[in-house]
Structure 1
């Protein structure tokens, strides 16, 4: 399967620092790698309803935001969560997307867990703090989500930026962006698991 990157943009603002950093990293991908960019703010998902014990799940129609995003996720070899760091974790738009994974795990005919196993999850985030350790919960959310599905985890590319375009002044983040997707992503593991 040729590599296909799905960039899930979780910011409420277009062309924000996280998206700018994601686009810099994506510029380094080979020309034959397919890229699909979905801005969650433009295709809002309905609030997630946990129906595990109440009713059967059905596959969302392809012509809905949920169905289109499910299809794009299933088609991707690499899913890139590009969400700014909001209150030390992912944005609410991104969290809703990840919550829908729970429904997709139970949707007949999707086989979401088996399909995603072995694929790669990446994260890109801008934060307004000089201390990257504040992104620990964000990184944990993505790593543990990948581990649950037996995906690979490429880590998180962090950049500093609060005001518009600030991340483009973060020379270290821009340098890391040049090689971010070139690394071999290991199989994700929960913190309590041993290699």
Structure 2
């Protein structure tokens, strides 16, 4: 089966450092791997309301932002969260997208949890700090989301960049980008789980 990558761009800024790093990594994908790029700022999701105990859930129409993102997520073998590191975690646009996963768990007819099992979640982030451990909460958010859904987790490709285009000067990140998607992603585990 050919891989189909969904790149979820979580920056409020077009062509920011995170997107540049994600596109650098995507250039290394084989031609047979399909790519779909969705900029969350271009498809704003409504405020998320947690209605899991209050209402019937229905599948959102495909011509809405929620329906577009649901359809693209379900069609992907690999989901790449390309969000800059904002206050040590994902951007608000990205967090809202992940919040919708809670609603999709209850949407009839898609069996979101079973559908996502075995697929791979990746992260790409630019940060304005030379210390990579400041991204641990970001990595934890993605790893734990993947673990809950029994997905694989390919890790997070980090690059340094604060000003426009700075990440293109981070030669270590660009080198890692060349092989980032070639690694075999293990099944995600919660930090408290043992092998």
Please give the TM-score of this superposition, normalised by the length of structure 1: 1.00
Shift of 1:56: 0.9
Within a 5 Å distance, the mapping from 1:36-47 to structure 2 comes to 36-47=36-47
Match of 1:165 in 2: 165
Shift of 1:190: 0.1
List runs of 5+ in structure 1 lacking aligned partners: none
1:87 aligns with 2:87: yes
Within a 5 Å distance, the mapping from 1:95-106 to structure 2 comes to 95-106=95-106
Match of 1:134 in 2: 134
1: CA distance between counterparts of 2:170 and 2:113? Answer: 37
Match of 1:108 in 2: 108
Please give the TM-score of this superposition, normalised by the length of structure 2: 1.00
Runs of 4+ in 1 over 6 A off after TM superposition: none
Shift of 1:110: 1.1
Within a 5 Å distance, the mapping from 1:48-59 to structure 2 comes to 48-59=48-59
Match of 1:122 in 2: 122
1:192 aligns with 2:192: yes
2: CA distance between counterparts of 1:38 and 1:94? Answer: 11
- Superposition RMSD on alpha carbons, in Å? 0.4
2: CA distance between counterparts of 1:52 and 1:31? Answer: 40
Name the SS for the 2:42 alignment partner. Answer: coil
Aligned length: 195
Name the SS for the 2:158 alignment partner. Answer: strand
